[in-house]
Amino acid sequence: MISIAICEDEKIYRDKLKEFLGKFLEQKKYSVEEFENGESFLERFEKDESYRENLDIVLLDIQMDGINGMDVARKIREWNKKLQIIFITAVPDFLADGYEVKAFRYLLKPIGYEDFCKHFGKCLEEIDENKESSIVINDLNTGKTVVVPTESILFVETYGRNLLVHIDKNVYRVYESIGSMEEKLDRETFFRVHRGYIVNISRIESIKGRTAIVAGNEVMISRDKIKELKERVMDYIEKVMK
């Protein structure tokens, strides 16, 4: 079941998006809930944990009365890092701000079905890929074997003879070399920025000098890795925008 939210203050576009969804997802099971402003969406999203955790895609208008779509997206990222966000806008001036909230897909008004299919289809592909990718680790803190979706990994760092695997809501400690961990992770998404750090490129919020900001955490970058990291980040953005 694909769970979708439409947050758009113009009814004509809410109706159009529902029409497109019905056509595109004709052979799939899905649910869609519509909201006419950012406040009503956030009230549902923040209060209902089950809804928040199971929502797959939000089609989000940027220019709305009250709280705008970009601020809604920032709130979303405080709770859910993996939710797919597709912005809807009549003005492309906001496009550069999307990287901050990991939203690389935009539908420009008036919305055409072909453009919708291109971006929505890519989102579904990414959701499927993320669900399939995981690693198995033995957490020394609890003594348990844990299956960790790679999409949830923020970064990995050396900690003495162990590794610390930082995920969205936890940190696992494993007895493994960083080279071995590097081999397990997808090289298109993960990059070893330093002899003691591997980062998830998709979770980098900004790069400041020799520091990458990953979900609010500062990760050191080797001087000889800065150029390549910036190139990898740009390659990632271009890939998800295709």
Span 222-233, pLDDT tens digits = 999 999 999 999
pLDDT band per the 50, 70, 90 thresholds, residue 128: confident
Across the range 59-84, mean pLDDT stands at 91
Instruction: State the chain's mean pLDDT as an integer.
Output: 90
Does the residue 19 lie in any domain? yes
Given this model, what pLDDT does residue 49 score? 86
Given this model, what pLDDT does residue 238 score? 77
Shared domain check, 125 and 148: no
Given this model, what pLDDT does residue 165 score? 98
CATH of residue 217: 2.40.50.1020
Given this model, what pLDDT does residue 50 score? 86
Shared domain check, 115 and 181: no
Q: What tokens does 66 get?
A: 């009250």
Which of 116, 131, 146 is where one domain is finished?
Answer: 131
Shared domain check, 187 and 225: yes
How many structural domains is the chain composed of? 2
Shared domain check, 143 and 124: no
Given this model, what pLDDT does residue 102 score? 72
Residue with tokens 């520091």: 211
Shared domain check, 138 and 22: no
Domain coverage including residue 202: 134-233
Given this model, what pLDDT does residue 97 score? 62
Does the residue 12 lie in any domain? yes
Across the range 196-206, mean pLDDT stands at 94
**Does pTM top 0.85 for this prediction?**
no
Which of 78, 106, 131 is where one domain is finished?
Answer: 131
- Summarised one tens digit per residue, pLDDT across range 49-62 is 889 888 999 999 99
Across the range 134-156, mean pLDDT stands at 91
- Reference 88, options 184, 162, 5; nearest CA is 5
Helix extents (H) in the chain: 11-24, 38-47, 49-54, 69-79, 113-132, 178-184, 226-241
Across the range 82-93, mean pLDDT stands at 85
pLDDT band per the 50, 70, 90 thresholds, residue 84: very high
Which of 89, 108, 131 is where one domain is finished?
Answer: 131
Pairing mode of beta strands 197-200, 204-208? unpaired
Shared domain check, 108 and 7: yes
Given this model, what pLDDT does residue 80 score? 84
- Give the Cα separation of 111 and 48 in Å (integer): 30
Bridge partners for 106 per DSSP:
87
CATH of residue 106: 3.40.50.2300
